Amino acid sequence: MKKVTWTWIVVSVISAFGSTTALAQSGADTYKAKCVSCHAADGSGSTPAGKSMKALPFNSPELVKASDDDLIAATKNGKGKMPAYKGKLTDAQIKDVVAYIRTLQK
């Protein structure tokens, strides 16, 4: 019986850690999966696609000043050549990916 209890505790602790990491990572993961091709890993927009479409670097003053709502709206609805992600990403994923973009502005 004792052995079973320990196994259960170990399994719960591991899965709790696993899910916390997944939450913290999800914005970064979404960004790496969907956004780097144009915006580049550092948010500079310096990839060939980003350059040809003139994606602004995320750390440019107007995007640092833009509200979260502005960036969320641009991600949801698209802007210029930027594709719309409404229906492709959930609201929660969009919020997380914008939070990740904020970390690229520092």
Nearer to ligand HEC, 28 or 82 (CB): 82
Least Cα distance to 57 among 25, 6, 101 occurs for 101
Tell me if 30 sits within 8 A of 100, measured CB to CB.
yes
CB of 66 to ligand HEC, least distance (A): 6
Which spans of this chain sit near ligand HEC (rule: CB under 6 A)? 34-35, 37-39, 49, 53, 55-56, 63, 66, 70-71, 74-75, 79-83, 85, 97, 101
Taking the least distance from each CB to ligand HEC, the nearer of 23 and 33 is 33
Residue whose C-alpha is closest to residue 97's, from 78, 71, 77: 71
